Amino acid sequence: MAAKLSTCFLSHGWSGFDCRHSNARLCLSHRSLPASSKMRPHGFNSQNKKQVKKATPERLPTNGNLQANGDDNSESEIPSTDKIPSINPEAISSDDVGNAVDAEDANEKDLNSLTLLNAIKSSMMDAENGEEPSIVHLQDLISMIKNAEKNILLLNQARVHALEDLENVLNEKQALQGEINVLEMRLAETDARIKVAAQEKIHVELLEDQLVKLQKELSARGDASGSIQDEHVIPVLHNDSVHSIDDELSLLRKENISLKDDLQALKAELSDVRGTDERVLMLEKECSYLKCSLKELQHKLDVSQEDASKLSTLKSECKDLWEKVDHLQVLLSNATKQADQAISVLQQNHDLRKKVDRLEESLEEANVYKSSSEKLQQYNELMQQKIKLLEERLQKSDEEITSYVQLYRESVREFQDTLDSLKEESKRRALDEPVDDMPWEFWSRVLLMIDGWTLEKKISTNDAKLLREMVWKRDGRICDAYMASKDKNDGEAIATFLRLISLPTSAGLHIVHIGAEMAPVAKVGGLGDVVTGLGKALQKRGHLIEVILPKYDCMQYERIRDLRTLDVVVESYFDGRLFKNKIWVGTVEGLPVYFIEPHHPGKFFWRGQFYGEHDDFKRFSFFSRAALELLLQAGKKPDIIHCHDWHTAFVAPLYWDLYVPKGLNSARICFTCHNFEYQGIAPASELASCGLDVQHLNRPDRMQDNSAHDRVNPVKGAIVFSNIVTTVSPTYSQEVRSAEGGRGLHMTLNSHSKKFIGILNGIDTDAWNPATDTFLKVQYSVHDLQGKAENKEALRRQLGLSIEDVRQPLVGCITRLVPQKGVHLIRHAMYRIMELGGQFVLLGSSPVPQIQREFGDIAQQFQTHEHVRLILKYDEALSHLIYAASDMLIIPSIFEPCGLTQMIAMRYGSVPLVRKTGGLNDSVFDIDDITVPVQFRNGFTFLNADERGVNNALERAFNYYRNGSQSWEQIVQKNMSIDFGWDSSASQYEELYQKSVARARSAT
């Protein structure tokens, strides 16, 4: 808007703008400019900037061009005071105003201000370059400064006129506001009168209703004359009042209509006032813009005056500079001449230097040649003497070489004879001694192949027996035959193997394990570790080991090697009919394994979990009978059938009652109960499903449960019908003979105590080895414990625990959170460890929802704690790292049949804190127990299952850790050196097996 006002005074080419009045006033009413007009920006746009840059030359234009521009400006920008007319509102449209703004922006501000600045800059540049500013340039600058002063005067006048118009508009606004107030008051009075008329109308309607009622009463009471008179009087009165009211209402309506018209007119005037307000705002903005532009022009004028004063000083400085330049040029010419002379002298000196160097080199070469010629003569004489000596020595060496050659030939003959004899002897030994360089997976694969041929009726039972015996001996001919028939079909391979049959006798035993678990393919607890660990240890001792498992859908199939199905179907009895079973074979940890897949509508082993189903009794009784049926139909004659826990306890009565009469009569039955807490008790009627006689077995001396006469106990049946009964530690075997520990079977165990023994389990030392464990951050050994400290730091960082104190003791706990494991003592130990200044890490989960929720709340509470962390799941990799990182491992079990955790902890150098029960009592001996030899003391124990006992063990362990670092390291090294492998346990089982087999053979 400011640009619009200035345009009225500063534009160059308005032909219709004839200034005639002496008073230079801009008469603009509130209707002259529409409200829709918008303020145009007063700065340069991009197009104008480009045009200005193109139009601005490197130097100022000639005097003629600049003067012409100045004349144009003077003609259009300096009107006399009597030539400024009033502007006709209808003659100026919004488009004309917009065009005027563009002309003002492009011509006035750009050409005047920028041209002035460019002229000053160019004159300064000329001064710096040493050129004298011309008189023409100075005159141009003076004329442009005058034009700028004239523009400032015109802007001041426009500002005064704009303020006057603004005052007029404000006065009009106040007058219109007063009229609006009067009209609003009249409108309010009219509304009040309308309300009063409406109330009177209602009152009249009520009176009419009363008159009607009175007429009805009078007609009923009065005589005819009186009633007639009244009828004439009342209507007359009624008609008069009604007419008067109607007249008054019509007047009010007319007045109301006129008021509405006035109101509409007021609204129109109000809209005009609002438009006027908008124009007032626009005028205010124009006024502010004019002020800003005035300040800018004044500032530019000041700058131009300062620049003009600097021109004189620049002129004088320029003259001085030209004088200095002339002087320097003279000096430069003199210096150039002197430099040329010096260069010529240097060149001559350089040539002389080269000649001198050449003479010196030739002189040195002559001296060297002279000295070398004398040395050559001496050297030739010495060489001739050496040649004579070498010729003499060569003759002697020739004689020695011929003698050595003869000796060598004789030794080669002797070596060849010895080698031939050794080859013959090795061939003879290869036929007699076992091959030790082949892995156990190879022999298991060959054994499964031979059993497959037997089940498929491709070879006879006797031939299979002979081939198995050769496999047991690890006969090298079996290896050669397998390699030779590797690419042949079954017929050619069978023929190759049958040619190897001889009649050697086997010293090893044929042992078949039937179980519900096997590590690592189907592991829930320690049972799976025992089946695999004991089997591998017995296999290394020269026995034939086979394992029979259910084919679960949730097994880790990737851990089974060479898994395949046999082209044979084994039928087994169940629920009064025969069901087919598909047989799969493969190797697990080097052991041959048979997997039974029942084709039963109940889908017994396709449940997504190993245990915990409502029909577990039926599932595993079916599997036990199918396993015996497999042995029978395969023609196997095992020496030992080893069954584990209640899941396969059915094997013992099934074997003696059903399968011995069928011809499967070579084996002795060994039963191992890993935990007497789980006995598989069920109604006696369910025993009939697998074909057993309920009446014959549901008796107190056989399978009848000791606490309920209508229920059967599979564990009790296995104890009664087995030849060997074992459990997993000596202490636990004593505990279960008591009423508290036996869970109802103490009397049965005591009556069969002669065949009942406890053998401590071992661990797989290959899988649990800190020197080769790939789950650890750093491997370490008993001779290098630095890696244990590094694993401790790695675990702390991984779990977000504090790492400030390297010597802060870290206590681990890896367990299933069930009541047997002492969950209340674990919870107490966590808080007590924090009080003692230690750190605590728990890894484990609970199948009991209440316990899982309770520990879940605790884990949430300590989620960000710097000394406690609870991980409520099973994580194989993390368990290995906790064993390696922990300084101590706490196991506060209420009862523990064996426990492998304390053995693994000591294998990794973590000192155990345990309660004296079961296998813990057989493997951990207290540091302070003077009744135990010092070399066997390896941990901290407590007897009573209470908080006091836990506190005592923790306090003693923390004091020992903090006060004797060297003694603590000795305990760690001693524990890591203890052999918890399966060799010792396997030798005890081997002795039991052999004694039982020997008794059976002697009896027959």
| Predicted local distance difference test score (pLDDT) of residue 194 | 79
What are φ and ψ of residue 873, in 5° steps? -165, 175
Q: Contact, 932 vs 925, CB < 8 A? A: yes
In DSSP terms, 550 is beta-bridged to 596
**What is the per-residue burial (b if ≥16 Cβ within 10 Å, else e) of 289-312?**
bbeebbeebeebeeebeebeeebe
In DSSP terms, 890 is beta-bridged to 913
C-alpha 775/C-alpha 767 separation (Å) is 11
* Residue with token string 């590797």: 486
| Predicted local distance difference test score (pLDDT) of residue 589 | 92
C-alpha 323/C-alpha 328 separation (Å) is 9
Q: Cα torsion at 655, 659, 660, 661 (round to 10°)?
A: 140
What are φ and ψ of residue 941, in 5° steps? -130, 160
Q: Contact, 757 vs 790, CB < 8 A? A: no
Which helix or strand (DSSP H or E) is residue 574 part of? strand 561-574
Q: Angle of helix 983-1003 relative to helix 526-540, nearest 10 degrees?
A: 70
pTM as predicted? 0.55
C-alpha 297/C-alpha 144 separation (Å) is 12
DSSP codes, 703-771? TB-SS-TTEE-HHHHHHHH-SEEEES-HHHHHHTTSTTTTTT-HHHHHHTGGGEEE------TTTS-TT
| Predicted local distance difference test score (pLDDT) of residue 452 | 84
Q: Which residues contact residue 119 at a Cβ distance below 8 angstroms, ignoring those fewer than 6 apart? A: 60, 137, 140, 141, 144
C-alpha 940/C-alpha 956 separation (Å) is 8
C-alpha 227/C-alpha 20 separation (Å) is 93
Using only the alpha carbons of the chain, give its radius of gyration. 60
Which residues in the chain land under pLDDT 50?
1-111, 113, 127, 130-132, 225, 227-234, 236-237, 502-506
pLDDT digits (tens, 9 = 90+) for 610-623: 988 999 999 999 99
Alpha helices in 91-134 (DSSP H): 94-103, 115-128
Q: Contact, 451 vs 634, CB < 8 A? A: yes
DSSP codes, 203-235? HHHHHHHHHHHHHHHHHHHS-HHHHHHHHHHHH
| Predicted local distance difference test score (pLDDT) of residue 213 | 80
C-alpha 712/C-alpha 490 separation (Å) is 48
Q: What share of the chain is helix, strand, coil (3-state, %, to 5)?
A: 60, 10, 30
Which helix or strand (DSSP H or E) is residue 941 part of? strand 940-942
* Residue with token string 């059993």: 451
| Predicted local distance difference test score (pLDDT) of residue 437 | 65
Percent of the chain with pLDDT over 70: 79
What are φ and ψ of residue 467, in 5° steps? -65, -40
Q: Which amino acid is at 814?
A: I
Which helix or strand (DSSP H or E) is residue 6 part of? helix 2-10
Q: Contact, 795 vs 882, CB < 8 A? A: yes
| Predicted local distance difference test score (pLDDT) of residue 242 | 60
Give the pair of three-digit tokens for residue 683: 């109604």
* Residue with token string 């080199």: 361
Give the pair of three-digit tokens for residue 324: 């200095």
CA angle 105, 106, 112 (to 5 degrees): 90
C-alpha 648/C-alpha 625 separation (Å) is 9
What are φ and ψ of residue 976, in 5° steps? -70, -20
| Predicted local distance difference test score (pLDDT) of residue 239 | 56
| Predicted local distance difference test score (pLDDT) of residue 373 | 66
Q: Which of 677, 670, 773, 675 is nearest to 728 (CA)?
A: 675
**Distance of CA 355 to CAs 102, 510, 719, Å?**
85, 105, 118
Q: Angle of helix 135-221 relative to helix 2-10, nearest 10 degrees?
A: 130
Strands, E, within 339-481: which ranges? none
* Residue with token string 């880790």: 556
Strand 561-574 with 577-588, pairing:
antiparallel
CA angle 754, 755, 756 (to 5 degrees): 95
What are φ and ψ of residue 167, in 5° steps? -65, -40
Q: Contact, 524 vs 611, CB < 8 A? A: yes
Strands, E, within 447-551: which ranges? 510-514, 544-550
C-alpha 404/C-alpha 415 separation (Å) is 16
SS3 labels along 789-850: HHHHHHHHHHHCCCCCCCCCCEEEEECCCCHHHCHHHHHHHHHHHHHCCCEEEEECCCCCHH
| Predicted local distance difference test score (pLDDT) of residue 80 | 38
Q: Which of 993, 819, 990, 983 is nearest to 893 (CA)?
A: 819
What are φ and ψ of residue 197, in 5° steps? -65, -40
Q: Contact, 526 vs 900, CB < 8 A? A: yes
Q: Contact, 500 vs 470, CB < 8 A? A: yes
